[in-house]
Chain A
Amino acid sequence: MTGKELLVDIDSVQITVKLSRTRRLQIVDYASMQVHRGEMMGLIGESGSGKTMLCRGFTGTLGRRNAFISGGKIMFDGIDLVQAKADVWRSVRGKKIGYVPQSALAGSNPVLTIGAQLREALKNDKELDRDAMRKRAMELLEIVQIRRPDIVMKQYPYQLSGGMKQRVMIACAIALNPDLIVADEPTTGLDVTVQAEIMRLLKNIRSEFNTAIILVSHDLPLINDVCDRITVMHAGATVETLPSSEIEKSKHPYTIALYKSRIDLAPPRGDLITIKGQPPSVGGWQEGCRFNQRCDFVTDACLKGPHPLYLQLKPGHQTTCINHASIPHKVGSH
């Protein structure tokens, strides 16, 4: 990954939720990730692993969930997002970082027309007058391949299908030409065919505008297909970052287990490799590596001490597994 400009540098980020005046729950306690300009990074993890909360760190909306960043730093294009005040956020949100929410249905305002919502997204751009805004809104709908944008502009979200709504959300996210798009499970609840179209669209946007994209999902085959690199989260911590093309050379048992439990690799009705047990409950983490109860390669050293930190294996590939050297080089196949 040399030669590319670093855009996002997340270093040992911790996120804490305020449950009440005195009670605190740490939900992310070690998140590290680097994203370069124009790179497509996949962020994968089970529900409760903290991936959505990490995304909220990029949009400055943690406060709405009563959460705050309690440690580490998020640097974005030279701006420290942890220390950022409201006026800094105003210049970043939308303009430099676009956000595509998980549920297109909840993300759009039901009482505003699509045109009005796009205009709202464009409002931060002071150079546009009303006509120019309209023109740009039409242009955006064309970029996200919505047919007959003039009609869609006047429609309300309920009149659109799930896939079209998600396209509109993407149009809003790219309205101000951001350097980074954070897409939080953009295709959950959509059909596979629509999902494939949305993924193609995101890839096109990336290659056309050199936008970096962080794609969050719990679908490993999907991430592996479309992203350049993958960051794996488990129980509030990032455990491995590696290039998609090297997924078979993973050096973390959790990634390996996720990869092996893919059903498309199993013969029909054949034995499925399952990850035993449940992910540890949020905040109720055990000592040592949090995967130690579910791991096939566990040793005594995994059971003690704080959660292990990233070890750099080679450029672009980091793992937290302290036993990475003894993990079989090739992921066993069926």
Chain B
Amino acid sequence: MAPILEGRNISVTFGGALRKVEAVKNVDVSLEPGQTIGIVGESGSGKSTLARVLAGIQVPTFGEVSYEGKNIWKGKVAYPGEMRKKVQMVFQDPYESLNPRMLAVQAVTEAVSFHQKVSGKEAQNIALDLLERMGILRQDAIKLPRALSGGQRQRVSVARALSANPEVLIADEPTSAIDQSAQSQLLSLFNELIDGGLSIILVSHDLGVIRYLTERVYVMESGNFVEVGDTAQIFNNPQMEYTQKLISSIPGHINKNR
């Protein structure tokens, strides 16, 4: 199948001539429609940078990102026009990615109005429906972010991303800042989204989440992919020492065949 989102020969270099940091070194990623892929690695491995490149937030130093075969960059604009709606991102920290002075429903309504040509009243109804789908009830939708739990805030962020009816969702560590019970609720939500046909790129250092949700996994170490393959295969039979180390570090040892 032709990939829906593809990155080729992506390199990102930060810093000037004297102190260069190569965050991402010449990597290829591709996401097929309906597929869920995972990018794992330690902090500093370049996984977030790569996600930002794919989302069009970070300009790659080299390489090309294409959506349905078309380059996402048009001059200085990433995802021009209608393309912008197709790829959306959810960020790591639900405590800082929402406007503290906007009610949850306002935050989502704002996103709905931005992406869809509807009246204010309609936008609000769409927002409330979206929040309900995310498991946020009406009584919680009229709260400020500070009155919501981390898991609820993250679901508001997901609702904002989904307000554009995207084809691809890029999630950068969506579960790392929330409690375990909230995490399982959020993962169930992602599960439903995958069943609904959404393609997802999941960036995480939590291999449990990656194993649970993804079909294919890219293991990243200092800007390179050290191992790429089917999730089940990599978890059952990791080839590289780095992958083995990552897997053996998981509390509860996930690699036991279950």
Which A residues have a C-beta under 8 Å from some C-beta of B?
46-48, 162, 191-196, 218-222, 224-226, 257-258, 261-269, 272-275, 278-279
Verify A47–B250 contact, CB threshold 8 A.
no
| Min CB gap B244→A, angstroms | 11
- Complexed CA–CA distance, A274 and B246 (Å): 26
* Interchain residue pairs A-B with the least CB separation, the first 6: A221-B252, A222-B251, A196-B249, A221-B251, A275-B181, A261-B184
Verify B43–A191 contact, CB threshold 8 A.
yes
Verify A225–B194 contact, CB threshold 8 A.
no
Pick from B179, B207, B208: contact of A218, CB under 8 Å: B179
| Min CB gap A255→B, angstroms | 12
Which B residues have a C-beta under 8 Å from some C-beta of A?
42-43, 149-152, 179-185, 187-188, 191, 194, 205-209, 211-213, 231-232, 245-246, 248-254, 258
Verify A46–B181 contact, CB threshold 8 A.
yes
Q: Which residues of A contact B182 (CB under 8 A)?
A: 46
Verify B250–A269 contact, CB threshold 8 A.
no
- 14 contacts across the A-B interface (CB closer than 8 A): A46-B179, A47-B149, A48-B149, A162-B43, A191-B205, A192-B207, A193-B245, A193-B246, A196-B248, A264-B254, A266-B212, A269-B212, A269-B213, A279-B149
- Complexed CA–CA distance, A300 and B42 (Å): 49
A263-B209, A278-B151 are known contacts; what are 8 more A-B pairs with Cβ within 8 Å? A46-B181, A191-B42, A193-B246, A222-B252, A258-B181, A264-B211, A268-B213, A269-B212
Q: Which residues of A contact B152 (CB under 8 A)?
A: 278
| Min CB gap A233→B, angstroms | 12
Verify B181–A225 contact, CB threshold 8 A.
no
Pick from A222, A224, A269, A275: contact of B184, CB under 8 Å: A275
| Min CB gap B94→A, angstroms | 12
- Complexed CA–CA distance, A268 and B215 (Å): 9
In the complex, residue of chain B having the shortest beta-carbon distance to the beta carbon of A189 = B176
Verify B188–A274 contact, CB threshold 8 A.
yes
In the complex, residue of chain A having the shortest beta-carbon distance to the beta carbon of B252 = A221
| Min CB gap A172→B, angstroms | 23
Q: Chain B CB within 10 Å — which of A194, A258, A261 has the most?
A: A261
Q: Which residues of A contact B206 (CB under 8 A)?
A: 192
Verify A219–B251 contact, CB threshold 8 A.
yes
If A224-B252, A264-B250 touch, does A219 touch B180 (CB 8 Å cutoff)? yes
If A274-B184, A278-B149 touch, does A264 touch B246 (CB 8 Å cutoff)? no
Verify B180–A264 contact, CB threshold 8 A.
no
Verify A224–B212 contact, CB threshold 8 A.
no
| Min CB gap B51→A, angstroms | 17
Q: Which residues of A contact B250 (CB under 8 A)?
A: 192, 221, 264
If A220-B180, A224-B251, A261-B180 touch, does A268 touch B187 (CB 8 Å cutoff)? no
Q: Which residues of A contact B180 (CB under 8 A)?
A: 46, 218-220, 258, 261-262
Q: Which residues of B contact A269 (CB under 8 A)?
A: 191, 194, 212-213
- Complexed CA–CA distance, A273 and B185 (Å): 9
| Min CB gap B223→A, angstroms | 16
Q: Which residues of A contact B191 (CB under 8 A)?
A: 269, 272
Q: Which residues of A contact B212 (CB under 8 A)?
A: 263, 266, 268-269, 272
Verify B187–A267 contact, CB threshold 8 A.
no
- Complexed CA–CA distance, A47 and B185 (Å): 15
| Min CB gap B55→A, angstroms | 23
